[in-house]
Amino acid sequence: MPGKSRRDFLKTTAVIGAGVAGLSSSTAKAAPKNILSEDRMGVLVDTTVCVGCRNCEWACKTAHDLPAGELHSYEDRSVFTEKRRPGTKALTVVNEYSSGKNSNLPLDVKVQCMHCDHPACVSACIVGAFSKEENGSVIWDTDKCIGCRYCMAACPFQVPAFEYDKAINPSIMKCDFCFNRTKEGKLPACVAICPVEALTYGTRTELVKIARERIKRNPDKYVDHIFGEYEVGGTAWMYLSSKDFSELDFPKLGTNPAPGVSESIQHGIFAYFVPPVSLYALLGGIMWISKHRKELDEEGKL
Amino acid sequence: MNHEEINPVPIKHKYFTPGVFILLIIALNGLIFLMGRFFFGLGSVTNLNDQYPWGLWIGVDVAAGVALAAGGFTTAALGHVMHKEEYNAIIRPALLTAMLGYTFVAMGVFVDIGRWYFIWHPLIMWNGSSALFEVGICVMIYMSVLYIEFLPIVTERFIGKVKLPGFLSGLNNFVDKLLRLLDNGLSKTMFIFIIAGVVLSTLHQSSLGTLMVIAGPKMHPLWQTPILPLLFLLSAISVGFPMVIFESLLASRSLGLKPEMHVLSKLGSMIAPILGIYLAFKLGDMFIRESFVYLKEFNTVSVLFSIEILFGVIIPLRMFLSHKVLKSPLFLFIASALVVFGVLLNRINNFVVAYNPPYSTQSYFPSFGEISVTIGFAAILILVYRFIVLNFPVISLPGLRTAQPTKYTIKGAKK
């Protein structure tokens, strides 16, 4: 059966392909970027502790050379009348929401890049300008970026911002988890300045344990949900709250990594170039046969 | 490749007509806004923001542009790969449309990306998991392939007719020899490029559909599906022939030629089954995912989806099944235009309408500047197309034997 032998051939090719894949993926694991380190760091944000002083906003701008103004100007609480988003002028912002269960105090939510364990931006970026670093931060490389803004379309939290007003070298702006500070052993600027310890910096595994402990000790205070533990496959920044997260403008997301489906399609189409090369061979075959049939027909007529 | 019955010639017609002047004004208007984009940044011309990073330029200039240039690879597959010589007359116009179409897609990307001077980065900075990277690389290679496929038309135009001005005339013989060498080499290797063109097209047409998969729940469930790449590929294949018919009828009308109905009707008769397959997958996907529940609500999204399916697929599908439609230039034009419109709307829907970011305060609508640039580019494309068909042997005139001899006779005649 010609059909069967062809299928067998394809099967063999697939097996060889898988073998090659096994080899190449084991070598790829040696690279330090875009792999998940066991001791990657994270931050636990306790929205019930945060008082909305917005010192973190000032510290962040100062650490990233953005115009920050005076620290005391951040005492102005009128900004809470509207919900703000991180952008090109501020990589993190705090929004205030009405109180949750068993409390009269408002909830304050700091917003910034979540530093996903399986970031959509890293997967999407056409030139690989984004990378998930060993310490857990997702950072952007200005030397590679072409400004296509696919990361913004891909991000499930709608975090990356783009400098639309710049004609030359517009940047993608987002929290970089203070990559340059943590490299020197310093704390992220927002964590360092927080006066009430609403932000806890530590290894992600440790933070999950701490968060579980807090929920267990205060079941009346917290909702039983650590946002970011499982969302889109887990994020480095995680949140505790006394209110359902959908009421705090967190997007409702599944537990599958954001780039999962698109990557499996992408790798399926390519699968070590087997499908494109087979298609090429198939078309070549059709071309040869149809041409020869034509010639034979013409000979027959003569 | 040359068949006795077809003899493409440069069309004898004047370039400037009132319509051409209107197109020039539209083009100029677009170029003025384009200057604003390059001097003052994307924000000065577009309505894009951090919630809506992609707008009209990506949806129409790039995504729809790639789809509407599908006539190139579909006719190449039909005429060259399956060797149906009766369609040879439409291959060159389709190739020209594809070549210009992709050139303008590249220009659309160039003006849309923030750092246009880094457009070459994907060539050396690879990210295999990115669907956009795959689209980018395939489009770049395919565009080169299209230019190579077009080269024989250029050599055919000049072989035996090289007349360089003034002191350069001494080089006439040399350039002629060079062209002949090139032509000879090309006709021996062309099949490699033709097959490569078809493979590259199927790859990036489908990957263009993968692009928005990563946006996940940000994209409306009427369009968001894991089979988006398949739907994109099928819709690109189904718009290939209608686009060729649409453009061939428009060109013959504008240049005062007799429409080549015998080829176009035959081509038209193949469209209904292809559209049918696309419709089956589109509806099947909708029923499996049960996304039809969103059609019960009456809003922009459900209306645009219904228009896309009804006017872009179902009505033209019915029309192409009718013998009367296939024989009438007017109805054939309407049916083809509907498919073109349907795919254009589908790409706009996928990239702009379906995209619903979580923190948007107001929805996106393209600015006057964005629309100006998009229609300006379309106008320039038509103007360049017109210039090329008037100066290069692209369009074949049926039954005309007085035109220039075919290139094989030129080759035989030694100087």
pLDDT of B131 > 70? The answer is yes
| Banded model confidence at residue A301, pLDDT cuts 50, 70, 90 | low
Total count of domains within chain B: 1
User: Which residues of chain B are within 8 Å of residue A233 when distances are taken between CB atoms?
Assistant: none
Mean pLDDT of B35-45: 93
Which DSSP symbol is given to A117?
A: S
List chain B residues with CB under 8 Å of A153: 53-54, 212, 214-215, 218, 355
Does B134 sit within 8 Å of A258, measured CB to CB?
Answer: no
Average pLDDT of the segment spanning A177-187:
93
Which of B47, B86, B115 to probe the A interface (max A CBs under 10 A)?
B115
- CA nearest to B357 within chain A: A158
Contact A162, A87 (CB under 8 A): no
Q: Which residue of B has its CA nearest to A83?
A: B359
Q: Determine contact, residues B229/B209, Cβ cutoff 8 Å.
A: yes
Residue A161, chain B, CB below 8 Å: the answer is: yes
Residue contact B129–A267, C-beta within 8 A: yes
Q: Find, in chain A, the residue whose alpha carbon is nearest to that of B218.
A: A156
What is the structure's pLDDT at B257?
Answer: 87
Task: Express each pLDDT in A233-290 by its tens digit.
Answer: 999 999 999 989 999 999 999 898 888 888 888 887 777 778 888 888 888 888 888 8
8 Å CB contact between A210 and A44: yes
Residues A98-126, mean pLDDT to the nearest whole number: 90
- For residues B367 and B33, the answer to whether their CB atoms sit within 8 Å is no
Q: Which CATH number characterizes residue B310's domain?
A: 1.20.1630.10
Residue to substitute from B35, B37, B49, B50, interface A, most A β-carbons within 10 A: B50
| Residue whose structure tokens are 């500070």 | A181
Predicted confidence (pLDDT) per residue in B210-265, tens digit? 999 999 899 999 999 999 999 999 999 999 999 999 999 999 888 888 888 888 99
Q: Report yes or no: A89 at the B interface, CB cutoff 8 Å.
A: no
Residue B404 pLDDT level (bands cut at 50, 70, 90): very low
As a whole number of Å, the end-to-end CA separation of chain A is: 35
Percent of residues, chain B, with pLDDT higher than 70: 94
A265/B226 touch (CB, cutoff 8 Å), yes or no? yes
What is the average per-residue pLDDT within B378-404?
81
Residue range A203-230: average pLDDT? Answer: 93
pLDDT of residue B85: 82
Query: Under a CB-based contact definition with an 8 Å cutoff, are residues B130 and A125 in contact?
Result: yes
**Model confidence over B185-215: pLDDT tens digits?**
888 888 889 999 999 999 999 999 999 999 9
A2 falls in which pLDDT band (50, 70, 90)?
very low
Using the Cβ of A260 and the Cβ atoms of chain B, whether some distance falls under 8 Å is answered with no
The pLDDT-based confidence of A20 (bands split at 50, 70, 90) is very low
Average pLDDT over residues B301-305: 93
β pairing state of A161-162 and A130-132: unpaired
List the single residue in A126, A147, A284 with the smallest CB-CB distance to B114: A147
Question: Does pLDDT of A15 surpass 50?
Answer: no
Contact B225, B349 (CB under 8 A): no
* Contact between chains at A126 and B133 (C-beta distance less than 8 A): yes
Q: Please tell me the predicted confidence (pLDDT) of residue A33.
A: 67
Task: Quote the pLDDT of residue A272.
Answer: 74
Using the Cβ of A285 and the Cβ atoms of chain B, whether some distance falls under 8 Å is answered with no
CA distance A174 to chain B (A): 11
Average pLDDT over residues A202-218: 94
**With 70 as the cut, is the pLDDT of residue B113 above it?**
yes
The tokens describing B161, both together, are 């007719």
CB atoms < 10 A from the CB of B166, how many?
Answer: 6
- Per-residue pLDDT, A258: 85
- pLDDT surpasses 60 at A12: no
User: Which has the minimum average pLDDT: A89-98, B68-77, B406-415?
Assistant: B406-415
Q: Using 50, 70 and 90 to split pLDDT, how confident is the model at B398?
A: low
Q: What is the pLDDT of residue A223?
A: 92
Question: Is pLDDT larger for residue B160 or for residue B268?
Answer: B268
- Dump pLDDT digits (tens) for A133-144: 999 999 999 999
Helix (H) or strand (E) holding B123: helix B121-124
| Residue B41, pLDDT score | 92
Spatial contact of B380 and B20, defined as CB atoms under 8 Å apart: no
CB contact under 8 A, B83 and A266: no
In a domain, B282, yes or no: yes
Joined together, the tokens standing for residue B56 give: 């009209």
Instruction: Assess A127–B contact: CB distance below 8 Å, yes or no.
Output: yes
Asked if residue B1 belongs to a domain, the reply is no
- Give the pLDDT score at A22: 40
d(C-alpha A229, C-alpha B237), whole Å: 43
Does the beta-carbon distance from A164 to B48 stay under 8 Å?
yes
* Residue B214 to residue A261, Cβ atoms within 8 A: yes
Of B49, B80, B195, the CB nearest to A280: B195
Neighbours of A225 (CB within 10 A): 17
How would residue A124 be classed by pLDDT, with cut points 50, 70 and 90? very high
Question: Taking 80 as the threshold, does the pLDDT of residue B6 lie above it?
Answer: no
A–B CB contacts, 8 A cutoff, strictly below: 189
Residue B160 lies in a domain: yes
Does B42 sit within 8 Å of A148, measured CB to CB?
A: no
Residues of A in contact with B54 (CB under 8 A): 149, 153
Q: Looking at residues B92-102, what average pLDDT do you find?
A: 93
Q: Is residue B408 part of a domain?
A: no
Q: Which residues of B touch A249 (CB under 8 A)?
A: 358-359
Residues spanned by the domain of B308? 8-359+368-397
pLDDT at position B296, please? 87
Residue B415 covered by a domain? no
* pLDDT score for A9: 45
Q: Encode pLDDT of A46-70 as tens digits.
A: 999 999 999 999 999 999 999 998 9
| Average pLDDT over chain B, rounded to an integer | 89
Q: Which residue of A has its CA nearest to B226?
A: A261
- Within 8 A of B109 by CB-CB distance, chain A residues are 148
Residue B407 lies in a domain: no
A22 residue type, one letter: G
**Structure tokens of B231?**
């739907």
| Contacts A88 to B, Cβ<8 Å | 50
Cα angle vertex A298, ends A293, A299, to 5°?
95
| Alpha carbon separation from A271 to A276, A277, A278, B314 (Å, rounded) | 9, 10, 11, 35
Average pLDDT, chain A: 85
Treating both helix axes as pointing N-terminal to C-terminal, what angle do A274-301 and A260-270 enclose, rounded to 10 degrees? 40
